[in-house]
Amino acid sequence: MTQVYVGQKAPFIKRNSKTETQEKAAAESPLTKRYFELDALRVIAFGVLILYHIGMYYVFEWGWHIKSDVQFPLLQDVMILTNQWRMSLLFLISAMVFTVVLHKAYDKPTSRLRVSLLLLGKRALRILIPLVFGMFVIVAPQVYIEWTVNGELNMSFIEFYIAYINPNTDVFTEKQSVIGLLTWNHLWFLPYLFVYSAIILLLFPLMRFMEVTKLRALDSLPLFSVIVVTFMTVIWLNLRAAYPTSHDLLNDWYSHAKYFFVMLVGIVVVLRPALYAAIMNSRYVSLTIAILLYSIIILDRHDMLGPTGQLMESSRGFRILVGVIVVLNHWSWLAAILGFGRKHLSSPSRVVNYLNKGVLPYYIVHQTIIVVAAFYLNSRVSSTIGEFILITLITVIGCAMTYEIAKRFLVLRFLFGLRFNTSPHRSLPTQRDLKCS
């Protein structure tokens, strides 16, 4: 492992607190610390995802599994704020955490092949088993309600479910894939994450060259941002229109390029602690840029910036400019969130520790609970605000109950991707747990 020595002071270098912070970060190894802020940011990101999916029920004109009779056009502007970075943040955090795990595993005196197979097996158990379980059990009510509300389905849920799990069913042949009616809906994140993780696992020995001292130029946030924005702009310009987001694992090339590149960014951030420190120190700059560019995007959506649609069709230079704005906005939000998280969330928290263990069960069941609650309350609650509050409460309570029940039964722990080495009867971790972690 490459060591960076920062103890000697050069007399010709003017030192300040920012420089010392970056040097201190550069001396720290991913092996010697735990990134508590990543746990907190993961919890926040999944919380935002739950609220976003509740918002999809109410937002005007955006298609979803079920829609409210009362829809709000301005809600689009609010949801675009998080739509730019919410899933990228999850992939970014996943890559950073996985990098720490790989770094520790590969530095042990064990066969790399054995370590790789072990890690891949663990990844499969915690991602693919919950995916299959979710497709067969959790997602089915969403599909049933969606097709029932749309008037496409007129049968009981039991009749539908028998057809849903039968790959040879003759029901809705036009909606079938190679596995019949089975679908993963909101669980698409899991197969994508598994595939990207497998690729990273294969290439990680090569990726560790990012640690070497000679690549110190990467610790410059402006230079690193230029590299990130350039690559992502190329992806945006060449793949977004040709391969629009579909969540089809075999053909979703824009999403693959975007999210896998985001994971590569996360790997570099972890392997270059000085870069991570620079991201923290520049958090206000990143936030300012993000807000300014988001404002431009919203102004354009409301046709306040002139005939930009025509320019997009006629001018390649303008398309490149728009791509840079969109991508820089995306990266600025990620950098700002990482920076503020590193600054303010890097201490252990009992609440975060508890919720972080339950994010997968929360993620698996939340959308089904939202759809079922919205379907049930739609004709029973006249107040839109009251309906929103009830749906939110039902979702949060339902997710919490799912986690509390799942962690108490070995089979459910397996199906929901929970670890087996924690006590199922403890609701919150003790201070001793936090110190040991």
Say what the pLDDT of residue 437 is. 37
Query: In angstroms, rounded to a whole number, what is the distance separating the alpha carbons of residues 360 and 202?
Result: 25
Flag whether the pTM goes above 0.85. Answer: yes
Domain residue ranges in the chain: 34-139+184-436
Q: What are the tens digits of pLDDT across the range 226-247?
A: 999 999 999 999 999 999 999 9
Q: What are the tens digits of pLDDT across the range 61-80?
A: 999 999 999 999 999 999 99
365 burial type by CB count under 10 A (0-12 exposed, 13-18 middle, 19+ buried): buried
Say what the pLDDT of residue 104 is. 83
Question: Shortest CA distance to 407 belongs to which of 389, 398, 420?
Answer: 420
Q: What is the pLDDT along the chain (437 residues), one digit of tens a residue?
A: 333 333 333 333 344 554 454 445 444 454 456 789 999 999 999 999 999 999 999 999 999 999 999 999 999 999 999 998 999 999 999 999 999 988 888 777 777 778 888 899 999 999 999 999 999 999 999 999 999 999 999 999 999 999 999 999 998 989 999 999 999 999 999 999 999 999 999 888 888 777 766 788 889 999 999 999 999 999 999 999 999 999 999 999 999 999 999 999 999 999 999 999 999 999 999 999 999 999 999 999 999 998 888 899 899 999 999 999 999 999 999 999 999 999 999 999 999 999 999 999 999 999 999 999 999 999 899 999 999 999 999 999 999 999 999 999 999 999 999 988 655 544 444 434 433 33
Say what the pLDDT of residue 6 is. 33
Tokens 């722990």 map to which residue? 413
Say what the pLDDT of residue 33 is. 67
Total count of residues recorded for the chain? 437
Query: 56-69 burial, b for 16+ CB within 10 Å, e for fewer?
Result: bbbbeeeebbbbbe
Say what the pLDDT of residue 391 is. 98
Say what the pLDDT of residue 34 is. 75
Per the structure block, which two tokens stand in for 113?
């092949």
